[in-house]
Every structure is written in structure tokens, then in C-alpha cells.
Chain A
Amino acid sequence: MKKNIGLLIVVLLVAAMIGTYVKQQIDKDREIETTSLGKEMDERKIGLKNGDTPPDFTLTSLDGKDVTLSELRGKKVVLNFWATWCPPCKAEMPHMQNYYEQYAKKDNVEIIAVNLTKAERDVTDDAKVDSVMTFRDSYNLTFPILLDPKNSAGEDYQILTIPTTYFIDSNGYIQRAIKGPMNVEMLKQYVEALD
């Protein structure tokens, strides 16, 4: 008798799993039908959800260049928000740099690291920029680091935890947002999932 309980659970699991899968497929077909009937695919909203157009911004990099997000369309963008005092950001930065050196060109990716400059823990604005520079030099970072002294992008993107990273596809739509640090392997996987 006892033998049958485990097997019964397994059979029920199989049934539940196949049922769920069939339901998923039916839902997917319906979704495709409704989108092709009514809504146009290119009517995208500006927002932070997957599929939305991310809020645009123009910020100045540490090297003094202005960078506008929407001008990067055509490239996949890894948009990272960080600060120098945040331990997970420190853990993540060498991986970002390694990814940038090894794969960014090949994968048609630009990494944009927005420093939440207003949240840096120095008293004066100059000192804040100085600590970002020191940080960049000590980690030998070569991807563009943008300064956000008024926290305007930080507010638009509702950044509460750092690091937060948005993955934006080459059409300029958000594909996903990741909270928490990533290593090279994760970055590669996330970028591979981008269009």
C-alpha cells in the first residue's frame, strides 16, 4: 500500500504540470490573438515595467561628456544605478568591468552606470565627484559613469535599492529590471535574453 502513495503523488504532479503547461499555451495563443486584433504593438508607454519605454535623461559623465539614453537606441543598454558606499555595488563593479572588456563590443552592448551622486556621503558636491573618481580609478572602470547630482534620474527610475540594473533592448524598451549585484555569468545570461 505504501508504495502507491509516492507514486500517486508523482502521477498527480505530472497531471498538474501538463495541465499548467496546456493552460499556459492557451493563454499565450489568446494573448497573440488580442494583440493582433486590437492594440498596436508600437503604442508603448513611458514607464518602468517590462516592455515600457524607459524615462529618458541626459546626464554628464565623469569625463564631462553629455550622454542621452534615447540616443543609444540600436544598442542594447545595461543601465546600472549605484553609489560608492554600497557594498553590493562594489562587489558587482569588477564583474561589470570584466563583462565590458570581454563581451560588450561583441554583444553590441553599452553599459551606463549612473552614480546616485546626491546620495554620496560627502559634504560638498566637489568632494562627492572626487570620491566617484577615486572609486573609478581604483577599480579601473572604463565604461561611462554618469553623475546624477540632483537625483533626477534616480527619482524617475524610483531607485530604492542599489544596485538596480535595467536591461534595455536595442529597440529602446525595458526587458527587465534586476535588483542586487550580478557577476559576469549573470550579465551574459541577461544580455543573451535581450532582443
Chain B
Amino acid sequence: MNNTEWYSIRALTLPATAVALLVAFFIVWLVIRVQFPKKWAGVYGDAVFTFIVVWKFSIIVTDFKAVIAQPFALLYFNGGTIGVFLGVMAVSLQLWWKRQKIQFDASGIAAYSWAIILTQSIYQWLVVLLNDNQTTSEVITLLVLSTLTVFILWRITTINRALILYTIGLIIVALFQPHGLWQPTVGVSVILLILGIVIQRAGRI
């Protein structure tokens, strides 16, 4: 989806995609909080925190020169697309390293798939609602992702199948979106799918 709107809060301007992601994080945290034992909302919150911090400060990696020349660039800018991927990878590593401590039991694995699917779906819905894009790509995004989300959360209990089905759905939706397959949302979805499978394997052992 193309970002066509921006929101200004005093001197800070955020693109609609960033607003959508922040709102999605909050809603998903709420849903996880009521749906699963308290612990999992905490794990989700930690993951979101890691993602935001790494994404924000990854400008040190993506634009080292600018940060050295003007340290306050850290305050104003973020790592952009590369930063998003670094953030997702940091979250993956964090969950992997802490897998012993977190103990992904059955409810944890279900919470993981809920969190992954809902974060992506709510983000996509909000991006559609906040921006102005081609009507066909908007309608396909809304309809396919909402049917898929409700169906998976309601019916499918094995995480592998749930996440694979979801990622395939997301890829099909992406084909109808302006940027096609080569957009960060698709890459992120694949990484999260792999992480889900790995975590489930680890939980079994």
C-alpha cells in the first residue's frame, strides 16, 4: 500500500503507516491480554518494545555518517525499511534466546500465532482505512485478510498450518497491492512464520 497521509503532533510528523502500526500493537496487546494468561501480554509487550527501540536506533547502522556528524539525527530519524527488518530480527533473536525462560507451552504457542496474525491484519486494515489507494487493492486487502483472520483464529489450532495459510493469504493480497511482492510486509510475514515454526519445534523438545 502507498502511504498517502501523514499526521502531525506538534513538531513531529508521522506517516500513516507508523500510526497504523502503533495502534495495531496496542489493540493486539489488549486482545492477547483478555484471551490468554497475563504472562503472554507481557511477552508481547517486551517484543514490541524491542522492535520499536531497534527500529528507531538502527539509523546508527543505516546512516552511521549522519549520526556521527550530527548525533541529534538519532532523535529525529529512524532506520527506515532496513530498520524494520533489523527490528523483526532482534525480536526473533530475543524470543529464541529466552525460549527456556519464557517456556512456550500450548497457550504460549497459540498466543504467538494470535499475536502474529492479528498484528499484521490490524496493521493492514488501518493502513487501508487511513490512506487513499486504488479501490480494488483496498477491497481485496480488507476482505481477504478479515475472512482469513477470523477463520484461522476460530478454526485452526495448529500453529504451522495457521501461519503458513496466513502468509500465503498475505502474499496473494500483496500481489494486488501497489508495491507487489517486494514489500517489507511480505518479508516480515515470512520471517515471523519461520520463527513461529521454530518456536513450536523448540516447545515440543
Contacts and interface: CB of A to CB of B under 8 A. Distances in A.
Contact of B11 (A10, A88, A95, A193): A88
Given A9-B31, A88-B76, A25 B6 contact: no
Interface stretch (A63-71, A73-81, A103-111, A181-189): A181-189
Contact of A21 (B11, B35, B70, B129): B129
Nearest to B70: A91
Contact of B12 (A180, A185, A189, A192): A180
B135 A25 contact: yes
B142 A21 contact: yes
Interface of B: 2-4, 6, 8, 10-13, 15, 27, 30-32, 34-36, 63, 66, 69-70, 72-73, 75-77, 80-81, 114, 118, 122, 125, 128-129, 135, 138, 142, 146, 149-150, 153-154
30 contacts: A6-B35, A6-B114, A6-B153, A7-B35, A7-B150, A7-B153, A10-B31, A14-B149, A14-B150, A17-B125, A17-B129, A17-B142, A20-B129, A21-B128, A21-B129, A21-B138, A24-B129, A88-B76, A91-B66, A91-B70, A91-B72, A91-B73, A91-B76, A91-B77, A92-B76, A178-B6, A179-B12, A180-B11, A181-B76, A185-B81
A13 interface: yes
A192 B1 CA distance: 13
Contacts of A10: 31, 118, 149-150, 153
Q: Is the interface of A mostly helix, strand, loop or mixed?
A: helix
A178 B8 contact: yes
Contacts of B73: 91
